[in-house]
Structure 1
Amino acid sequence: MQTLRITLLLAFVSAGSVLVAEDRAGPVTLEKARKEGRVKSRFLKEGQAGEENAQAVPRANLAPFQESIGPILKKSCRACHGPRKSAGRLRIDKLNPDLLTGPDVERWREIYNVLGNSEMPPADKPDYALADADRGNIVNWLGGELKKAYILRRNSEERSS
């Protein structure tokens, strides 16, 4: 029992001397604490590898639209959303396919939603039905472009805080 008391007393004394030694160095400034935190942060170390990708400016990928998506939309959507008839005040032939800099990103978001939910083309119009592969290609392309447009707009907007 006596040995335990002596051991505990020595532990408290050595811990106290460490604390006293730290106090002699003076209080740590906020700037110094930030620098030390950045050096020791595992999040910043992990994030540095992807930092180049985060800084890269997204670019519109219009090649798939021109090669396959545009013709599919023309075949399946233009009859109801074209020059002769514009159901829902949507003209598929007038939309700018550049979602990153074009003015029609909200219209494309609507198209993404109705195609993703299989609401369009309507089931009662079998002549304009989309093959599952075509629907998937359009939804995947739109999803990627909408994501890039979101990132571009998020990074370019000024924040209040």
Structure 2
Amino acid sequence: MLFLGLLLAALAGAVIATVLTVRGFRASGRLRTAALLVGAGAVALYAWGLLNVGYAVLQAEDGGAGSAPAGPCREAGPQVASLVVGYDVSFLPLRFECRLTGGGAYVTSAVPGYVNQGTAGLGLVAATCAVLATTTARRVRPPVA
């Protein structure tokens, strides 16, 4: 069920990124256009990360012979993988974690390293452009009498 939710969230992210891109190309003003296009990039990158987490969850929930430990948790090697008792998904930052018997956990490489950093960077640039676009638009408009 988690996989389906992640898949739907990733699809929603793709739709939002497309809408922001179209609005960005139709926007008037360089800062507003930049804010919308960079924001679309941030949403698209996060959606890509959601797809990666969804694939890891799909592997983890795949039952059958050789399904323990979960597929993404095997990358740590057989000694650590034998201690895996479950997994967790984190959305901020986006990651797939394997829980260990002693109460610890480790993060897998299911989500590429650039996803969280890129999403945060693009989000900050988009927010900065949006704030600048709003403040410059207020300065340019004549006061309403």
Q: TM-score, normalised by structure 2?
A: 0.32
Question: Taking CA–CA contacts closer than 8 Å with sequence separation of 6 or more, which of the two structures ends up with the larger relative contact order?
Answer: 2
Q: Which has the larger radius of gyration?
A: 1
Greater share of residues in strand: 2
Q: TM-score, normalised by structure 1?
A: 0.30
